């Protein structure tokens, strides 16, 4: 480390800003590559103008690929048990691509391409959990809730 950088880092450390001052990098030790079984809980919102509540009745498989901090992959299977207007129905989740995923430390975000579904969460070893938002105007879906997954 140069003398100028050492002085700058020392000054920044006084204010609690120490990122980037090390001459070596440990990198991100969290790795999400692999197969995960995801469950959705406490999903509430509207579908085609009707109030709905849903939860997983069968898990969805997430197959994730990580390259650095970028996450891609696929989702498949699973089923939601939904209730709307007093009527209960099982709804298959289907399959598709996982896009626009990132991993920063142990914070993960990713997106189902269709229906438009955004995930944010925290990875802790072989488990992950967080919030999910399904906001797909084309399919008239606006639902939020929580999710959890276990690496299999």
Residue 43 has pLDDT above 70, yes or no: yes
Residues 98-110 have pLDDT tens digits of 999 999 999 999 9
User: Higher-confidence residue: 142 or 13?
Assistant: 142
Mean predicted lDDT score pLDDT of the chain: 83
User: Higher-confidence residue: 74 or 16?
Assistant: 74
pLDDT band at 139 (very low <50, low <70, confident <90, very high): confident
Mean pLDDT of 4-30: 38
pLDDT band at 28 (very low <50, low <70, confident <90, very high): low
Q: What percent of the chain has pLDDT over 70?
A: 82
Whether 60 and 74 have beta carbons less than 8 Å apart is answered as no
| Structural domains in the chain, sorted by start | 1-27 (no CATH), 31-151 (2.40.128)
Residue 41 is classified by DSSP as: E
Q: Which residues of 27-50 are buried (b: 16+ CB within 10 A; e: fewer)?
A: eeebebeeebbbbbeebebebeee
| C-alpha closest to that of 93 among 63, 138, 59, 52 | 59
CA 131 to CA 115: how far, in whole Å? 16
Residues 45-62 have pLDDT tens digits of 999 899 999 999 999 999
């Amino acid at each position: 480390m140069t003398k100028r950088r050492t002085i700058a880092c020392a000054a920044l450390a006084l204010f609690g800003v120490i990122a980037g001052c090390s001459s070596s990098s440990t990198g991100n030790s969290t790795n999400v590559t692999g197969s995960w079984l995801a469950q959705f809980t406490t999903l509430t919102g509207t579908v085609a103008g009707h109030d709905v509540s849903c939860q997983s009745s069968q898990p969805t498989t997430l197959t994730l690929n990580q390259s650095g901090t970028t996450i891609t992959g696929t989702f498949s299977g699973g089923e939601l048990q939904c209730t709307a207007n007093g009527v209960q129905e099982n709804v298959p989740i289907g399959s598709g691509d996982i896009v626009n995923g990132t991993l920063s430390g142990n914070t993960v975000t990713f997106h189902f391409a269709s229906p438009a579904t955004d995930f944010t969460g925290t990875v802790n070893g072989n488990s992950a959990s967080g919030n999910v938002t399904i906001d797909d105007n084309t399919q008239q879906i606006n639902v939020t809730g929580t999710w959890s997954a276990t690496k299999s």
